[in-house]
Amino acid sequence: MLGSRVRGAVFRGLWPRLPEPQWAPRRRRLCAASAGAAAGGAAPPDAIARTTPVVDYASPPAAIDRKRRELSELAPGGLRKAAFFAAAAPLVWLAGAAGSAGLLAKAGKGAPPAALRAPFEVCEEFVEVNGVKLHCVSPGPRRNRGKPLMLFLHGFPELWFSWRYQMQEFADDYDVVAVDQRGYNDSSKPPGIASYRLAQLARDVQALVAALGHERCTLVAHDWGGVVAWTVAGMYGTDLLDRLIVMGLPHLGVGLTNMDWAQMQRSSYILLFQAPALPEAMLTADGAAMMDASFVDGPFALQNPGAMTKEDVDWYKAAVLKPGAATAMLNYYRAFMRTLTLANQEGDGEVWRALRARIDVPTLLLHGEKDPALGMSLLEGVEAAFPEGGLEAKVLLSCSHWVQQDYPLQVNGIMREWEKKVERRRGAAAGGAAAGVAAAGNGGGSGG
Q: Show pLDDT as tens, one digit a residue, over the chain (448 residues).
A: 333 333 344 433 333 333 333 444 433 334 444 433 334 468 999 999 999 999 999 999 999 999 999 999 999 999 999 999 999 999 999 999 999 999 999 998 888 898 899 999 999 999 999 999 999 999 999 999 999 999 999 999 999 999 999 999 999 999 999 999 999 999 999 999 999 999 999 999 999 999 999 999 999 999 999 999 999 999 999 999 999 999 999 999 999 999 999 999 999 999 999 999 999 999 999 999 999 999 999 899 999 999 999 999 999 999 999 999 999 999 999 999 999 999 999 999 999 999 999 999 999 999 999 999 999 999 999 999 999 999 999 999 999 999 999 999 999 999 999 999 999 999 998 888 777 777 777 765 444 3
User: Are 100 and 9 in contact, with CB atoms under 8 Å apart?
Assistant: yes
DSSP 8-state assignment for residue 267: T
Active-site residue flag, 312: no
Instruction: For the chain, report the end-to-end CA distance as a whole number of angstroms.
Output: 82
pLDDT value for 54: 98
180, 186, 223, 406: the catalytic one is 223
Residues 267, 240 contacting (CB under 8 angstroms): no
Q: How far apart are CA 402 and CA 2, in angstroms?
A: 19
CA distance 277 to 326: 10
User: Which one of 214, 401, 406, 407 is the catalytic residue?
Assistant: 401
Instruction: Considering the candidates 174, 269, 333, 407, report the single residue annotated as catalytic.
Output: 333
CA 199 – CA 363 distance, rounded (Å): 21
* pLDDT number for residue 443: 67
Q: What is the largest CA-CA distance in the chain?
A: 89
- Burial-class residue 97 by CB neighbours within 10 Å (0-12, 13-18, 19+): middle
* Helices 325-340 & 278-288 angle (0-180, nearest 10): 150
Dihedral angle of Cα 147, 36, 407, 41, to the nearest 10 degrees:
-170
Catalytic annotation on 154? no
Q: Is the peptide bond before 25 cis (omega within 30 degrees of 0)?
A: no
How far apart, in Å, are the Cα atoms of 397 and each of 23, 82, 91, 412? 12, 36, 34, 16
Question: Domains in the chain, please, with CATH?
Answer: 4-435 (3.40.50.1820)
Alpha carbon distance 211, 232 (integer Å): 16
223 noted as active-site residue: yes
